[in-house]
Structure formats: C-alpha cells, structure tokens
A and B are shown apart, each in its own frame.
Chain A
C-alpha cells in the first residue's frame, strides 16, 4: 500500500538560511511524487514533480527535491529562505496501482523569522 510520511510537522528557519522539509514514501510501483505549497487562506500550488526522469527536480521559487529510491525519500530543499516561503507544504505520491487517487502527507508548516 502507498503511504507518505512527512517527518516534521513544523519547521522553523531564519530568513536567508537553508530549508529542508523531509518526506519518505512507500509505493509498490514506480511512483510519481509531488510537492505542493499552500499559503494561508489559499489553494494548493504545485512546487515541483518527479516522474521518473531526472532524480534532481527543480521547481518554482528556488525549491528543488531529490528522489532517492534507495532511501525512499523525496526531501524538499531551498538554499535560502524568504519570508514569503512561510506556508504549509504537502508531499504527495501517486502510482499507477492507485488509480486516480493522490496520497497526501500530513503536511509541514514552515515558519520563517526575520
């Protein structure tokens, strides 16, 4: 069965320091993996996606994620946090066996202080 575990419910960083949001997945097939961001009182915006091409995926706003099959991880990183990065981040997995369903992680709240 598929599952997604976001290892931190809350991450706090200072502006200008690196961001690391951790995600582990379990999938019985070749998964597609996504990171979505949700700013307060907004919908979900796609940050990046992995679909079996390059294992290092670059997304919007300077974010990137690396797919590591041996570690079943898909951690999200950014070299330097901005205040505007403060939001909720969801790691999401889907594979062919799941049909049309997306499996969401519980989310990580990123706080950025000045």
Chain B
C-alpha cells in the first residue's frame, strides 16, 4: 500500500475563515511534506516534518500553520488566507527523512486538496 490520503478534496473558504487540510499515511514513513501547486506549475515545497518535528519551513507565511499530531497524520491549518493562496495543496511522505531520495527512498504524493479562497 503506497497511499497518501488527503481530505477534503475540495475546499472553498472566505478570507476570514479558519479551516484545515488533513493528510494521512499508513506506510510507516517518518517524513511528511506539504507542497503547493499552482496551475501549470511544478509543486513548491512548503514544509517538511521529520520524525514528527518541523525540519523545513520554506519561508511560508504564518497564515499557513502545519501540525503533525503523530507519525501518520499531517495537518495544515489555514487562517486569513488571500485569494492568491488558491491552489492545489499536495501532501507527501517518504520513508527516511535523513536519506531522502537515496536507494529505495521515494516520495509518495496524495491526490491533493483543491483550495479556493474567495
């Protein structure tokens, strides 16, 4: 099973709303990621969690707040977003954060959550 599950698939929110995106994997992976993807562009890394601790924050605005409650779950809390934040948000996981992309270590992506900010 190489599945990363994201909910909801679609989310429409106002600029004053608070909402959350959720991600789950049961592959025993110890690294989890949030990526943002705009139309016709490659994904851009936002956050990396290694062993449930935030290890990389790619200068993401504080209106995006990640949380890793346990090794299987990753959340992205959203507050006071702007219309330009509308995008596809992809969650991903990999087995060993210390040796990412080395032999046998692959990043697996979920289907994504489509976010529209109105």
Q: State the A residues within 8 Å of B (CB).
A: 32, 34, 36, 41-46, 49, 51-53, 88, 90, 94-96, 99-102, 104-107
Contact = CB atoms under 8 A, between A and B. Distances in A.
Given A42-B111, A43-B109, A90 B42 contact: yes
Q: How large is the interface on B (under 10, 10 to 19, 20 to 34, 35 or more residues)?
A: 20 to 34
Given A44-B90, A107-B41, A102 B107 contact: yes
* Chain A to chain B: the 4 pairs with minimum beta-carbon distance, closest first: A94-B101, A104-B42, A43-B111, A44-B109
B103 A51 contact: yes
B51 interface: no
A100 B97 contact: yes
Nearest to A51: B103
26 contacts: A32-B102, A34-B106, A41-B114, A42-B111, A43-B110, A46-B108, A49-B106, A51-B102, A51-B103, A51-B104, A88-B40, A95-B101, A96-B99, A99-B56, A100-B31, A100-B50, A100-B56, A100-B97, A101-B45, A101-B56, A102-B100, A102-B101, A102-B107, A104-B42, A107-B40, A107-B41
Given A105-B42, A107-B40, A100 B55 contact: yes
Chain B CB within 10 Å, residue with most, of A46, A95, A99, A100: A100
Nearest to B6: A43
Contacts of B42: 90, 104-107
